[in-house]
Structure 1
Amino acid sequence: MIGLGRFGSALAGTLERLGHDVLAVERNPGIVQHFSGRFPLVEADATNPEALEQVSAKDFAAAVVGVGTSLEASMLITGNLVDLGMPQIWAKAITPEHARILTRIGAHHVVFPEADAGNRVAHLVSGKLLDYIEVEDDFTIVKMRPPRETQGFDLAQSKVRTRYGVTVLGVKSPGEEFVYATPETRVQADDILIVAGHPELLERFAARP
């Protein structure tokens, strides 16, 4: 993990909790001191290829470039990782132009954390959705409360897929474990549904009273 801003520090901490071997690289001594002890990290300037060699970056299966405020630094670090032969390089981008350059340099995956978060929150704020995960442009998974017309009926009776073109993947009842949905799954008012489908169709289904 290179760069310990909000994105990088959150990612490094989560990977560490999930049991992955993590090494964070940050050139700002104040930030290094702030995160000292939370996960393995070193103070180094990753725009210098020798620094990446000294921390044995090539021994890791993947590298994440979390630097976004300096486009020059972001591109230099990505290029250095490409030169090292990193098998997987993930890079944070701020703009589409930034993303195109990172891809041309050799980044295998480019992410837009701020834009993705804004898009997700917009869907949550504007409707009845409890969570929103966009898998592809035309396929999304949401967590939502059941519309009134589905409450007290099983999925075969409410015909959600036929009427709305979306698929209920599972149901979580209060105090119960999550269960995968079947045609016989009965939906109650206080249940939470996991539903998949086209974003527009999901919004339309979630908007039902």
Structure 2
Amino acid sequence: MLADLFRTSFGFTKGDGVVVIGLGRFGCAVAESLVRLGHEVMGIDRDAQQVQLWADRLTHTVQADATNVHTLRQLGVADFPHAIVGIGNDLSASLMTAMALTELEIKDIWVKAATTEHGQIAQRIGAHHVVHPEAEMGERIAHLITGRIVDYIEFGAGFAVATIHAPAPTHNRPLADCDVLEAFGVNVVGVKRAGENFRHAGPDMVVMPGDLLIVSGPASKVEAFAGRASA
């Protein structure tokens, strides 16, 4: 369910086409997840062996030099609404690819950045989103390690979506009576009870001890609300 929320929050409509350039560990992980979520994915890499390895797992795979805008145009990349540059340590290739995608006027360009400077340059070139996987994974683990938060995703501008143990103030009460938004500044999106699937959190839903809640809101308020589980 968090994956669906992630897709919705960033404007990925189910079935949207996505180009993933660079089929290393990061690019392949993203591409595989996108296919699982129902997207058409074209994977592009210079390495023929890597392209062959993923030929049966993605919608399309192509061996090509993605730094060349004419090559990308011939491949039909301009028709894709989303592009992800997952090129690893080759800073020049990453930035040249981002520049080529900008020239094609791709409306949603993501770039994996190895450093802060890499990300800043990518944004100046025209990237709409910059991802720092190592730093973001470290931050995510820091949120999970206390045990109060089961899963956590933080978006831009300090907005977060998390799965947390239901805090004591919500136990044995309908959500409407808890007035979580007014009291804590977060929204309860879904509720999961042991042995059941997540359900949409309606105002009449009674939260029980041991339930898991999906909540969204400012990261600091999500953290504070999760902290009430151990208060």
State the TM-score, normalizing by the size of structure 2. Answer: 0.76
Number of residue pairs aligned between Structure 1 and Structure 2? 208
Cα distance in structure 1, aligned partners of 2:129 and 2:162: 24
Runs of 4+ with deviation above 6 angstroms: none
Q: Deviations over 1:23-70 (max 9, x none)?
A: 211112232232232122111122233432442322323322111311
Shift in Å, 1:91: 1.7
Q: Deviations over 1:100-148 (max 9, x none)?
A: 2112212233222332222222201134111112234343222111234
User: Residue 126 of structure 2: which of 101, 106, 109 is its match?
Assistant: 106
Q: Deviations over 1:133-189 (max 9, x none)?
A: 22343432221112345322334555645554444333222326503241x432211
**Equivalence for 1:187:** 207
Cα distance in structure 1, aligned partners of 2:128 and 2:118: 14
Identity of aligned residues (%): 43
CA contact (8 A) 2:44 2:66 kept: yes
CA contact (8 A) 2:43 2:51 kept: no
Q: Bigger radius of gyration, 1 or 2?
A: 1
AA in 2 matched with 1:179: H
**Equivalence for 2:150:** 130
Cα distance in structure 2, aligned partners of 1:22 and 1:160: 39
In structure 2, runs of 5+ residues without a counterpart are 1-19
User: Residue 62 of structure 1: which of 82, 105, 112 is its match?
Assistant: 82
AA in 1 matched with 2:170: T
**Equivalence for 1:199:** 219
**Equivalence for 2:14:** none
CA contact (8 A) 1:172 1:179 kept: no
Cα distance in structure 1, aligned partners of 2:102 and 2:156: 27
Q: Does 1:13 align with 2:32?
A: yes
CA contact (8 A) 1:171 1:181 kept: no
Q: Does 1:97 align with 2:117?
A: yes
**Equivalence for 1:28:** 47
Structure 2 SS opposite 1:86: coil
Q: Does 1:79 align with 2:95?
A: no
Structure 2 SS opposite 1:23: strand
Structure 1 SS opposite 2:62: strand
Structure 2 SS opposite 1:141: strand
AA in 2 matched with 1:180: A
Between stretches 116-125 and 197-206, larger displacement belongs to 197-206
**Equivalence for 2:8:** none
User: Residue 142 of structure 1: which of 142, 157, 162 is its match?
Assistant: 162
Q: Does 1:52 align with 2:106?
A: no
Cα distance in structure 1, aligned partners of 2:34 and 2:89: 23
Q: Does 1:178 align with 2:199?
A: yes
Cα distance in structure 1, aligned partners of 2:33 and 2:73: 25
Structure 2 SS opposite 1:36: coil
Between stretches 168-177 and 77-86, larger displacement belongs to 168-177
Q: Could you say if the C-alpha distance between residues 74 and 189 of structure 1 is closer, same or farther in structure 2, counting changes exceeding 3 Å?
A: same
AA in 1 matched with 2:41: V
Q: Could you say if the C-alpha distance between residues 143 and 62 of structure 1 is closer, same or farther in structure 2, counting changes exceeding 3 Å?
A: closer
AA in 2 matched with 1:66: G
Q: Could you say if the C-alpha distance between residues 27 and 203 of structure 1 is closer, same or farther in structure 2, counting changes exceeding 3 Å?
A: same
Cα distance in structure 1, aligned partners of 2:160 and 2:54: 35
User: Residue 172 of structure 2: which of 145, 152, 155 is its match?
Assistant: 152
